[in-house]
């Protein structure tokens, strides 16, 4: 009797174990099948999402899933303007990696990060809307939100390119910057910083022998643009822009470099800042290249003569400084100040080729209507008027 009960108990245990193993096997098999089917499911979903951007059609070649690290990779993405009249995509990238930013868990937040490898952005100018590619609907932001189900906290671009093209000009234009690197951090403020500008965005790029950098602090969660930025592009070889200059100004530059220094701050719908371009060692007339185009040589000679008059001969540079202030929608540039700075650089003192650190976001506070830029403008105006009276 005892043996019979024991045998029945053993059989029940074995039967139960068998069902457990069968259930586990079925579950594992189902997970394997789901894992195999998942990339195809996500691929179709991503391609469907890309159709939601008005005026553009998108395509993705492949999807890789990495469940362990909570990520998926979009491979071979292209976004083209519909109509087929523009031969290059508006946007393309080899890989877009969307994943969980695990280190944010230490701050008690679950957020995401996006890494984009070798993206290319093409802005195209043309005679008609069908041949232009200069902007895109804001609906692309909703598409990105759908593709990244978590709040975005970190965004990084490696080895990017930005092009400006004109297929209808003569000569055709294709100017670009390469090796673009962008890193934006703490976009969701997971660090819970109480600063006015808790997020950062830094960028760099190579531009025809020159180098461009951007350093920005911002409040990424504020719907009104709120930032304090400094940017500079140093040592761009202007001769590499000859197709662009020839197409739009009918000129060829034989020699010269340009550097541009900019600072800007925005808050409460207002913006303040300046841009300071400095051209060095400029030579316009290209006798060898344009010897069969007498009218072009005459035009280049006129431009060269004007440049010679308004350059600082000691530093061999032409420079000015444009100050802008006002609302974000319609900032004002003082043209007379800009002209005054050309004359100041040429005949008084060469503008210094560097950032001035003269712009601060706190200058936009209501309690501080006077800004360093305004004070500088008033001082330069008084100086100019006093010199004029002495003469």
Could you read off the pLDDT of 85-106 as tens digits, one per residue? Answer: 889 999 999 999 999 888 887 7
pLDDT for the residue 113: 93
Report the mean per-residue pLDDT for the chain: 83
DSSP class of residue 187 equals T
Average pLDDT over residues 74-83: 89
CB of 137 within 8 A of CB of 91? no
Closest CA to 344 of 308, 385, 372, 380: 380
Closest CA to 148 of 76, 78, 99: 99
Structure tokens at 256: 């010269």
- How far, in Å, CA of 84 to CA of 155, rounded? 31
Query: For tokens 């031969």, what's the residue?
Result: 87
Query: For tokens 């280049």, what's the residue?
Result: 300
**Residue 386 in 3-state DSSP?**
helix
Is 211's pLDDT higher than 90?
A: yes
Question: How many Cβ atoms sit within 10 Å of the Cβ of residue 101?
Answer: 22
**Each residue of 300-332: pLDDT tens digit?**
677 777 777 878 888 889 999 999 999 988 889
* Distances from the Cα of 134 to the Cα of 90, 122, 187, 372, angstroms: 9, 8, 26, 35
In DSSP notation, 66-131 reads ETTTTEEEEEEEEEEETTS--SS-SEEEEEEEEEE-GGGGGGT---EEEEEEEEEEEEEE-SSGGG
**Cβ partners under 8 Å of residue 384, min gap 6:** 340
pLDDT tier, 373 (very low <50, low <70, confident <90, very high otherwise): low
Question: How many Cβ atoms sit within 10 Å of the Cβ of residue 209?
Answer: 13
Structure tokens at 102: 């695990």
- How far, in Å, CA of 345 to CA of 227, rounded? 30
Please tell me which residue, 374 or 171, carries the higher pLDDT value: 171
DSSP class of residue 319 equals E
Note the residue count of the chain.
391
Average pLDDT over residues 166-183: 94
Structure tokens at 281: 């060692």
pLDDT tier, 387 (very low <50, low <70, confident <90, very high otherwise): very low
- How far, in Å, CA of 216 to CA of 229, rounded? 4
- How far, in Å, CA of 260 to CA of 96, rounded? 32
Is 290's pLDDT higher than 70?
A: no
* Distances from the Cα of 87 to the Cα of 73, 90, 207, 211, angstroms: 26, 10, 23, 29
- How far, in Å, CA of 208 to CA of 249, rounded? 20
Strand partners, 60: 77
Is 23's pLDDT higher than 80?
A: no
Pairing of strands 152-166, 112-125: parallel
Q: Domain-by-domain residue ranges, the chain? A: 36-192, 237-391
Question: How many Cβ atoms sit within 10 Å of the Cβ of residue 150?
Answer: 18
Average pLDDT over residues 31-57: 75
In DSSP notation, 319-357 reads E--EEEEEESSSEEE-HHHHHHHHHHHHHT-PPPSS---
pLDDT for the residue 212: 97
pLDDT for the residue 391: 46
∠ CA 224-157-236, rounded to 5°: 90
Query: For tokens 């197709």, what's the residue?
Result: 243
The Cβ-side half-sphere exposure at 101, using a 13 Å CA radius, reads: 27
């Amino acid at each position: 009797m005892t043996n019979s009960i024991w045998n029945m108990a053993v059989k029940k245990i074995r039967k139960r174990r068998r069902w457990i193993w069968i259930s586990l096997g079925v579950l594992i098999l189902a997970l394997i099948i789901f894992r195999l089917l998942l990339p195809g499911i996500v691929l179709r979903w991503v391609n469907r999402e890309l159709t939601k951007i008005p005026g553009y059609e998108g395509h993705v070649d492949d999807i890789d899933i990495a469940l362990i690290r909570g990520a998926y990779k979009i491979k071979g993405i292209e976004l083209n303007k519909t109509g087929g009249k523009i031969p290059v995509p508006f946007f393309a990238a080899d890989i877009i990696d969307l994943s969980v930013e695990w280190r944010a868990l230490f701050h008690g937040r679950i957020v995401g990060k996006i890494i984009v490898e070798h993206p290319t952005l093409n802005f195209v100018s043309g005679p008609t809307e069908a041949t232009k590619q200069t902007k895109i609907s804001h609906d692309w932001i909703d598409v990105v939100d759908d593709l990244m189900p978590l709040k975005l906290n970190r965004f990084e671009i490696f080895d990017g390119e930005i092009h400006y093209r004109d297929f209808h000009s003569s000569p055709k234009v294709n100017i670009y910057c390469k090796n673009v690197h962008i890193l934006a951090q703490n976009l969701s403020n997971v660090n819970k910083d109480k600063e006015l500008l808790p997020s950062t965005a830094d960028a760099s790029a190579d531009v025809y022998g020159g180098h461009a950098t951007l350093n920005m602090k911002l409040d990424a969660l504020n719907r009104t643009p709120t930032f304090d930025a400094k940017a500079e592009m140093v040592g761009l070889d202007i001769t590499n822009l000859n197709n662009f200059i020839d197409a739009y100004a009918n000129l060829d530059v034989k020699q010269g470099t340009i550097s541009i220094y900019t600072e800007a701050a925005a808050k409460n719908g207002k913006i303040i800042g300046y841009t300071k371009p400095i051209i060095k060692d400029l030579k316009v007339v290209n006798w060898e290249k344009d010897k069969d185009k007498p009218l072009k040589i005459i035009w280049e000679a006129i431009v060269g003569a004007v440049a010679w008059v308004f350059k600082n001969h000691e530093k061999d540079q032409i420079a000015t400084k444009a100050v802008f202030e006002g609302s974000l929608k319609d900032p004002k540039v003082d043209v007379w100040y800009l002209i005054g700075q050309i004359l100041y650089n040429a005949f008084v003192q060469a503008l210094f080729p560097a950032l001035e650190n003269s712009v601060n976001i706190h200058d936009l506070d209501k309690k501080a209507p006077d800004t360093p830029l305004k004070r500088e403008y008033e001082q330069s105006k008084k100086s100019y008027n006093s010199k004029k009276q002495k003469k």
